Structure 1
């Protein structure tokens, strides 16, 4: 079990073309590994395919797609775990907004399917209905990397504290929150929600985000995302960030000692009064 874990959160400006996004990923990894050796690299929601215009057809992927072979090669090359925040993936015949973990040995594993789908309508804007395309995920999920227990969530999940309560009760060390946040909601809610989730869970939170202007390779349509990828410690302190709304990355060293100190000072697990059903 490692007492420290070096991680990277990668911010992308993905588009509606898998090959273009793969090149972004490859370029970002080369840049990161010039100066550091993260054991775990997190990419945002929609990292391999981002629908630019609402209503456009999304072609789902399977793990036989050549993109995953390329990602396996990259994971082996850099001896690291690559966490694809989400891709449109067929799992047991159904299309999900799904996270995928690529291990240093090149194994590719679907891990978590987004529980809360983004069906909203902001004032003055067109409605967005993620459930028109994807099926809801059914349960939380925890992955393990070098002894670190890592809870998974995706974007809109951040608004549902009961999910994070499950992870807190299972004493995860890190929670992933890959996202493609809108600019309007990002300006109002992004950082405050993420810091709250870190504080209440007493764990690290890493949120790799889409950021910038996305232009369709098919129609020329554009879309804006908020960016501001963050890594936050269990006290709620920001320890890594990408401040610009553009491609970039932030690297941080996570410490188990930091987690233990926070939990010793405020021993929340001994003070919980409400019991939730186990998952």
Structure 2
């Protein structure tokens, strides 16, 4: 199955972003992709303090329309308001434009997100795309190995992740060596390796964000990686790679056996 990652920097005006989304969906389909993943809060623009008061129903309608026009699966992220509570939400739309599943971000990043949104309290649902078991995550979720391992042990084979990683470069002579590009280049492939699944991770581009959207495979390899700026890249997820990685070192089966063993040793209630 071919997966497309749309990397772009959204603008404050929704109609500009909607036009860019439409172009990306058309290009993804022309390149043979079945699935398109877009950046976190792309249609509204990633600006938590500016967009938290809005409800993303119109953005979700735009995402559904793009999926339906091009006949592909599409993952997008929007603001979801429930009464007075706001969440950052990811939605998966099928090729008919129907919303198949919705996931609310559990691990909020930074002061702005934590001030404006509440974390979700439910784990991502495992759903099927063309025979693949798929789950959704959002940005900072993937930086926690427990999050990725949880969806993997529940059967996920592909994790689809809209993200918005701000660009922070290390200061050569300063005290902070953090380079946020390493999230895409190092952390995401590591999560894919240790939990033995594919991860499709779509980021905003520079100058404000770190770019480097990536599709990582269960061997920890980067199947395809975007550059720093606006770009659409495609890569394939295959059964051969998934089965080969899980046969080589079967982390998930070992974990399952250990869990069953520990459960059998627990005193009965």
Q: Which residue of 2 aligns with 1:212?
A: 206
Could you tell me how far apart the structure 2 residues matched to 1:74 and 1:188 are? 31
Which position in structure 1 is the counterpart of 2:80?
89
Q: State the shift of 1:274 in Å.
A: 5.2
Larger relative strand fraction: 1
Partner secondary structure for residue 212 of structure 1 = coil
1:61–1:90 contact (8 Å) kept in structure 2 = yes
Q: Deviations over 1:92-136 (max 9, x none)?
A: 6631100012211121355110001113xxxxxxxx331211111
**Distance in 1 between the 2:155 and 2:100 partners?**
23
TM-score of the two chains, using structure 2 as the length reference: 0.85
Unaligned runs of 5+ in 1: 120-127, 214-223
Matching of residues 229-248 of structure 1 within 5 Å: 229-243=213-227, 245-248=228-231
Higher helix proportion (structure 1 or 2) = 2
- Pair 1:47-2:42 in alignment: yes
Contact 1:230 1:240 in 2 (8 A): yes
Question: Which residue does the alignment assign to 1:182?
Answer: 166
Aligned residues: CA RMSD: 2.2
Change (3 A) 1:92 1:111: farther
Whole-Å Cα distance in 2 between the matches of residues 70 and 116 of structure 1? 26
Is the contact made by 1:51 and 1:58 (CA closer than 8 Å) also made in structure 2? no
Given that 1:209 and 1:228 are in contact with CA atoms closer than 8 Å, whether structure 2 keeps it comes out as yes
Summarize the Cα distance change of 1:70–1:169 in structure 2 as closer, same or farther, 3 Å threshold: closer
How many Å separate the matches in 2 of 1:90 and 1:61?
5
* Kept after mapping to 2: 8 A contact 1:10/1:44: yes
CA contact (8 A) 1:140 1:151 kept: no
Matches within 5 A, 1:88-237: 88-91=79-82, 94-109=85-100, 111-119=102-110, 128-141=111-124, 142-184=126-168, 185-213=179-207, 224-237=208-221
Name the count of aligned residue pairs. Answer: 249
* Partner SS state of residue 226, structure 1: coil
Q: 2:26 aligns to what?
A: 30
- Change in CA separation of 1:98 and 1:40 when aligned onto 2, cut-off 3 Å: same
Distance 1:38 1:51, change over 3 A: closer
The one-character-per-residue Cα deviations of 1:182-235 (angstroms, maximum 9, x if unpaired) are 11142344321101100011011110001123xxxxxxxxxx100110001110
Measure how far apart 1:251 and its partner are.
0.8
Inter-partner Cα distance in structure 1 for 2:132 and 2:122? 20
Q: What TM-score, normalized by structure 1, do the two folds share?
A: 0.82
Residues 56, 78 of structure 2: 8 Å contact kept: no
CA distance in 1, matches of 2:83, 2:50: 23
CA deviation digits over 1:63-86, x for unaligned, max 9? 3x2x444433322221111110x2
In the alignment, the residues of structure 2 paired with residue 205 and residue 92 of structure 1 have an alpha-carbon distance, to the nearest angstrom, of: 33
Distance in structure 2 (CA, Å) of the matches to 1:145 and 1:211: 27
